Amino acid sequence: MDLEQICCRTIALVKEVGQFVYEENHKLTQDKVRFKGKNDLVTYVDTTSEKRLVTGLHKICPEAGFITEEGTTSRTAAAYQWVIDPLDGTTNYVHGVPFYAISVALMQDKEVIVGVVHEINQDECFYAWQNSKAYCNEREIQVSQVGKLEESLLATGFPYVDLSRMEPYIALLTELLQTSQGIRRLGSAAADLAYVACGRFDGFYEYNLKPWDVAAGALIVERAGGEVCDFKGGSDYIWGQEIIAANSQVRQELLAKVRSFF
């Protein structure tokens, strides 16, 4: 399997679908927005984007099944799975906030082997494949070299569905606001991870995330020289619904802070 070629074809498809997502944003009205659950929005753009991605990705790797946010396909497979978020940042999208992305990963068994995150409004496509370097628009990227948490700009996401861990989350947020250079909440975990990979953010943490939120971005961070773990310091960050990503020095400090509250 030529992973570089698969990645290149995936990039072309994601950019094509991203153009559709961008153009439809100007046509979206509130009557076309539905709720999957409390504060969990979905539009026809999410589902149409996903269907287009599924069709195109099936052509790129016919033997692969799919894990998708909107459940528009039931294709499954044993060895290979495409993991798709057709519009990460739907709430931003609905409200006209220009920060949202498409995230696509290819997994072999439990390992991510291709990752593509396209941040649509900046027209920035971040990508990597197994054993490659990490790139943004054909330019090699690396995580930041900041060595201390106190010098770091962090990113996170606020809980909006699972509020059961709100108390320790707010306590952690309060602590990190006092021990870092600041925290940003932009509204797309996939793009947050891509920003860690290229050094704009020095670290990222969040809980209650799904595989399609993090699979592609986590690979890109790792191939950019960063480290990714769950809140216990383990490797269950794709399925375990919690993630920390940073360079090696900041990750150690950030993990220690997270573990003291969770």
Q: Tens digit of pLDDT for each residue in 197-256? A: 999 999 999 999 999 999 999 999 999 999 999 999 999 999 999 999 999 999 999 999
Q: In terms of domains, do 161 and 244 share one? A: yes
Q: In terms of domains, do 33 and 51 share one? A: yes
For the chain, first and last CA: distance in Å? 40
With CA atoms as reference, report the closest residue to 245 among 173, 177, 191: 191
The answer on pLDDT for 69 being more than 90 is no
The answer on pLDDT for 176 being more than 60 is yes
pTM of the model: 0.95
Q: In terms of domains, do 155 and 137 share one? A: no
Q: In terms of domains, do 15 and 137 share one? A: yes
Q: What is the pLDDT of residue 39?
A: 46
Strand-pairing partners, residue 125, are: 118
Average pLDDT of the chain is 94
- Per residue in 114-147, pLDDT (tens digit) is 999 999 999 999 999 999 999 999 999 999 999 9
- Per residue in 7-61, pLDDT (tens digit) is 999 999 999 999 999 999 988 777 667 766 554 567 889 999 999 999 999 999 9
Number of domain units in the chain: 2
Residue where a domain stops, chosen among 92, 119, 141? 141
Q: Which pair of structure tokens corresponds to residue 164?
A: 């059961």
Q: What is the pLDDT of residue 144?
A: 98
- Where residue 76 falls among pLDDT bands split at 50, 70, 90? confident
Q: In terms of domains, do 124 and 36 share one? A: yes
Q: Which domain holds residue 30?
A: 3-141
Q: In terms of domains, do 168 and 238 share one? A: yes
Q: Find out whether 63 and 79 touch, Cβ atoms under 8 Å.
A: yes
The answer on pLDDT for 163 being more than 50 is yes
Residue where a domain stops, chosen among 141, 166, 184? 141
Q: In terms of domains, do 156 and 27 share one? A: no
- What CATH number does the domain containing 227 carry? 3.40.190.80
Q: In terms of domains, do 112 and 18 share one? A: yes
Q: In terms of domains, do 7 and 137 share one? A: yes
Residue where a domain stops, chosen among 113, 141, 169? 141
Q: What is the pLDDT of residue 170?
A: 95
Q: Distance of CA 190 to CAs 79, 137, 178, Å?
A: 24, 16, 26
Q: In terms of domains, do 123 and 241 share one? A: no
Which secondary structure element, helix H or strand E, spans residue 216, and what is its range? helix 211-223
Sign of the CA dihedral running 23, 27, 30, 31: negative
DSSP 232: T
3-state SS, residue 207: strand
Q: Distance of CA 61 to CAs 3, 73, 88, Å?
A: 10, 15, 23
Helix, strand, coil % (nearest 5) of the chain? 40, 25, 35
Strand-pairing partners, residue 34, are: 42
Q: How many CB atoms lie within 10 A of CB 197?
A: 33
**For the ranges 8-17, 56-65, 154-163, 178-187, which has the lowest average pLDDT?**
154-163
Q: Give the residue carrying structure tokens 């971005």.
A: 217
Beta-carbon contacts of 138 under 8 Å, excluding residues fewer than 6 positions away, are none
Q: What is the pLDDT of residue 107?
A: 98
Q: In terms of domains, do 17 and 136 share one? A: yes
Q: In terms of domains, do 114 and 155 share one? A: no
